[in-house]
Structure 1
Amino acid sequence: MNSKVYLYDTTLRDGTQGEGISLSVEDKIKIALRLDQFGIDFIEGGWPGSNPKDMAFFERIREIPLQHAKVSAFGSTCRPHVAAADDDNLRALVASGAKAAAIFGKSWDLHVTDALKTTLEENLRMVADSVAFLKEKGMTTLFLAEHFFDGYKANPRYALQVLEAAEAAGADWIVLCDTNGGSLPTEIYDIVRSVTEGIRVPLGIHPHNDSGVAVANALAAVQAGATQVQGTINGIGERCGNVNLISVVPNLQLKLGYRCVSSEQLQELTQLSRYVAEIANMTLPNNQPFVGHSAFAHKGGIHVSAVLRDPKTYEHIEPENIGNIRRVLVSELAGQSNLLAKMEELEIDISLEREEAREIITRIKEREFQGYQYEGAEASLTLMLLEAAGKLKNLFTLDSFKILMEKAASRAITSEATVKLNLNGEMVHTAADGNGPVNALDNALRKALETYYPCIANMHLTDYKVRVLDDNGATAAKVRVLIESSYNGEKWSTVGVSTNVIEASWEALADSIRYLLWKEGCEESDFHQTTEARVGIVNH
């Protein structure tokens, strides 16, 4: 097939209407550059004249040469009984400097009479006049038929008249919008197919996800003849969101044979998804199709064994094609295949006998029964494997820790932690304050070790999560603590479990530092050299 399907991204406009999504001008510029690099054809920057932020974006983006994409400004048709040339909204689109303009107009007679409070004939005039005005100004003009599918179901003759008015006025694209997100794929296919019989202008589809089938609707529209899909990265948008281009693109390109971007650009899909999520300060679900952290994760022993022989047994595409990776999980469901594959994935060079592997798997299953979870704490799993093989150097052990908390009526709670560690036979005793007991404990542990292992100073705790494991235990319930740490751009997670949240936190904190010391190849000799240097300085 190999037909081209154009991608119109509205993350910077429609996407920001999603609850909790806010992008600064600088954020929007960064995302626009990444979208251009990925091969998006149209980037909708916002609605000029509606707010200062969108105007600032259009001013900034004019100064930045894009490699591929056209920047599009969004707006509406002129107001009832106002000429397009006199409409402030349309003049703002022209003044934005954007090469393309996307204007929406009513295609549902209900909206014309009840929302706009005008006549059906006047609405047709507004559509035609607005499109013609923008074309006269040299802009690529996209007419968005708002509520088209609802309008077509209610009054197909008038809905088509609206499209015909836009076509006659010179629209470059006519985009059919499922604005309320209530249509189903079979309806979308049939209606788009019927539109192609009378409209010769290229068609686009703009589906919302209120029924959870926006991706299916987009695919159905393309199969029926649409050649443009309008959506957002990660499906953000008002209410339940817009169609997710991150899912649309690989389905069109890898499953249906259409051409959206180059194969090299497609390999950037996962990174694009995560980049936009990071800037928008949103957490991607692990099970997001194609790009999720768990999209190619295998847990069951039988699954893993089969995937290692032939990935096609449990994977619908090769993860490398969209920039993701295959992951093997080790849990209570693990078999020997999981363990061996995981060791290879983590680049742990250990030769295990069959009986040793079985013992490790048994230990993992016992610990998971106690509440540990190694799927999200691979650093703790690595330490367990190294320890089982006798390859882990225990550079420090805990002698004791103590935490004091004080709450005065006139000020916030203060925390102080005291830690005693055994470092290769030498007792180290430190204390530190913190804005909470875990922070104080972390500070005291670092203070005790940084002098001997300076790399710890550049390690940072980036996330801390507590999960109650037994709902019936109330405040005495067992808890699982997951800690994420970072060092020089690398991130890893560790886990601790206890009925005491401080003890669980200590276990995860200690593992995070042990993992760093292993990664950095620290030896006992490093400790002795640092100790001798300190003694030398004192003696001198």
Structure 2
Amino acid sequence: MNKHVYMYDTTLRDGTQGEGISLSVDDKIKIARKLDQLGVSYIEGGWPGSNPKDMEFFLRVKELDLKHAKVTAFGSTRRFGVTAEADDNLRMILESGVTAVAIFGKSWDFHVTEALGTTLDENLSMIYDSVRFLKENGLEVIYDAEHFFDGYKHNPDYALATLRQASEAGADWLALCDTNGGSLPHEISEIVARVCTEFATPVGIHCHNDGELAVANSLAAVGAGARQVQGTINGFGERCGNTNLISIIPNLQLKLGYECVPPEQLKQLTNTSRYVYEIANINPPNLQPFVGHSAFAHKGGMHVSAILKAAETYEHIRPESVGNTRRVLVSELSGQSNLLFKAQELNIELDKTKPEGRTIIQKIKEMEHQGYQYEGAEASFELLLHQGLGDYEEVFAIESFKVLMEKHGESDSTTEATVKLHVGGQTVHTVAEGNGPVNALDNALRKALEAVFPDISQMYLTDYKVRVLSEQDATASKVRVLVESTKDGEESWSTVGVSTNVIEASWEALIDSMRYALMGRQNEAVDLSGDEIERQGIVNH
């Protein structure tokens, strides 16, 4: 039994047909390099005869020193009434310089007569002539049998006849396409099994996800004998997308024993998925299997207690095998196991035999009942943990803050924040303007702290989210604010604040962010002399 299944990636062609997906030639080159590093067998770069961008890609991709993948062009069979030698699209495929090509032809008689507008016999000739012409010119030819499964269900004899023409003309692969994405796994399995029985030419599968079954259908096809899977990274593609190779690869390789990519490259799966999302400017979904941020996240206390003893109790694979990581969430559902795990992650000593752990858990449950959420604000959680253990030393203390916003007529509004705090052995009073109340508070607080901790200037906010927690209360609703901060763009952390006043909630999150950045750095404080206070415009009391 052949235990190798060839991964045919069409992210750069079929994937770009998805809504909201647009890739420049530079983008496509970057993704092609990443796909080769992952170890896919084929990278379909586009349709050379359809647009200048795709032809430019084929010219530039020759400069890459690809180690694993074969760059493949895409095209259609010759037009009816035109010889293969005279067909512009086929000639453009040759001019692209590829060594492999996937050409699609009609397998559904309904499409031949209604969409293509020709005879069934002419369609068979178009398939044969096109494959023969490309083979005679030295290319590896993958025949994509478009609408094969719908065609087979309607007229199995004709659908099989189209494959026979491609096979007899010398096609290297017969790729069966569920173009409308409406087939079910048992149908895929039965039909693929028959094709594999009747043809010596290797079989591939190309599924769309309109029934959310593209991965299941592709697995069924491999089980029935298919040895090539066509799909895209993250399931990008027209309508509901294509088979997601990010899910197919680990299912086949880790669970069914097939080799899809070199074993040592499987750990690149998560990184590859997120890289393609980044290039496509799309936020990765947390819930994506195998590679999502939540794929190996554990929240229930019983679950965490079990995985601390044996990870396989609540994980179907080891997250490290696909380059992901295990995460334990701390929430009102947490037990002591969650707390111990998080403390261990943070290198904080926590003795479960002492009452501090139970006290902290109770505190977390009370805070989350008020609307705080620590799953997405781990910096606030770490501060809470240190405070509960009594080993947190306050770097600065807030006495008061005030925000004033002023607007006259149609003129732009101005916002001014005043902050009074104790830091570095002094009481300081700062005033700053900003683009809105949160920015003004940030500027005023930073102005006070920079005098004592100069490198706080390297810290800045990267994200700010507000969530209404009690919609029924309208403008009096309680809100939760999540703030993400970074230092030099390298390390980042998130903090949370909750209040019925959005400015107060923002202030809480902002204060936690500053406290986290300065935690454990009391001995780095710069003494505030009178001259320094005057120079920086800080009022001393």
TM-score (norm 2): 0.94
Matched, 1:487 2:487: yes
Match of 1:42 in 2: 42
State the one-letter code of the partner of 1:202.
Answer: P
Unaligned runs of 5+ in 1: none
In structure 1, how many angstroms separate the alpha carbons of the residues matched to 2:291 and 2:175? 28
Residue 382 of structure 2: SS of its match in structure 1? helix
Match of 2:230 in 1: 230
Q: CA deviation at 1:459?
A: 2.4
Q: In angstroms, what is the RMSD of aligned CA positions?
A: 2.0
Corresponding pairs, count:
535
**Residues 345 and 168 of structure 1, relative CA distance in 2, 3 Å threshold:** same
Q: CA deviation at 1:527?
A: 1.8
Alignment of 1:148-167 (within 5 A): 148-167=148-167
In structure 2, how many angstroms separate the alpha carbons of the residues matched to 1:349 and 1:536? 43
State the one-letter code of the partner of 2:509.
Answer: A
Alignment of 1:340-489 (within 5 A): 340-351=340-351, 353-407=353-407, 410=410, 412-488=412-488, 489=490
Q: CA deviation at 1:87?
A: 1.7
**Residues 135 and 431 of structure 1, relative CA distance in 2, 3 Å threshold:** farther
Tell me, yes or no, if the aligned pair for 1:263 and 1:321 is still in contact at 8 Å.
Answer: no
Tell me, yes or no, if the aligned pair for 1:9 and 1:44 is still in contact at 8 Å.
Answer: yes
Match of 1:107 in 2: 107
Q: CA deviation at 1:453?
A: 2.1
Matched, 1:192 2:217: no
Tell me, yes or no, if the aligned pair for 2:423 and 2:452 is still in contact at 8 Å.
Answer: no
State the one-letter code of the partner of 1:93.
Answer: I
Matched, 1:528 2:529: no
Alignment of 1:57-68 (within 5 A): 57-68=57-68
State the one-letter code of the partner of 2:377.
Answer: A
Tell me, yes or no, if the aligned pair for 1:453 and 1:526 is still in contact at 8 Å.
Answer: yes
Alignment of 1:203-282 (within 5 A): 203-282=203-282
* 1:148-197 CA-partner distances (Å, limit 9, x unpaired): 11011011111111111111111111111111110010000000001111
State the one-letter code of the partner of 2:459.
Answer: M
* 1:13-51 CA-partner distances (Å, limit 9, x unpaired): 111111111122222111111110010111111122322
In structure 1, how many angstroms separate the alpha carbons of the residues matched to 2:460 and 2:2? 47
Match of 2:298 in 1: 298
TM-score (norm 1): 0.95
**Residues 499 and 157 of structure 1, relative CA distance in 2, 3 Å threshold:** same
Tell me, yes or no, if the aligned pair for 1:452 and 1:531 is still in contact at 8 Å.
Answer: no
- Stretch moving more, 25-34 or 151-160: 25-34
State the one-letter code of the partner of 1:161.
Answer: A
Residue 194 of structure 1: SS of its match in structure 2? helix
In structure 1, how many angstroms separate the alpha carbons of the residues matched to 2:44 and 2:408? 54
Match of 2:26 in 1: 26
**Residues 88 and 433 of structure 1, relative CA distance in 2, 3 Å threshold:** farther
**Residues 460 and 137 of structure 1, relative CA distance in 2, 3 Å threshold:** farther
Residue 86 of structure 1: SS of its match in structure 2? coil
Tell me, yes or no, if the aligned pair for 2:10 and 2:43 is still in contact at 8 Å.
Answer: yes
In structure 1, how many angstroms separate the alpha carbons of the residues matched to 2:369 and 2:258? 47
In structure 1, how many angstroms separate the alpha carbons of the residues matched to 2:23 and 2:445? 38
Residue 85 of structure 1: SS of its match in structure 2? coil
Q: CA deviation at 1:368?
A: 0.5
- Stretch moving more, 453-462 or 279-288: 453-462
Match of 2:539 in 1: none
Q: CA deviation at 1:381?
A: 0.4
* 1:228-247 CA-partner distances (Å, limit 9, x unpaired): 11111111111111111111
Residue 267 of structure 1: SS of its match in structure 2? helix
In structure 2, how many angstroms separate the alpha carbons of the residues matched to 1:407 and 1:292? 45
State the one-letter code of the partner of 1:160.
Answer: L
Residue 392 of structure 1: SS of its match in structure 2? coil
In structure 2, how many angstroms separate the alpha carbons of the residues matched to 1:433 and 1:155? 74
Q: CA deviation at 1:296?
A: 1.2
Q: CA deviation at 1:350?
A: 4.4
* 1:36-90 CA-partner distances (Å, limit 9, x unpaired): 0010111111122322322222222111111111111112112111112222222
State the one-letter code of the partner of 2:176.
Answer: L
Tell me, yes or no, if the aligned pair for 1:352 and 1:389 is still in contact at 8 Å.
Answer: no
Q: CA deviation at 1:393?
A: 2.3
Q: CA deviation at 1:409?
A: 5.4
In structure 2, how many angstroms separate the alpha carbons of the residues matched to 1:239 and 1:409? 48
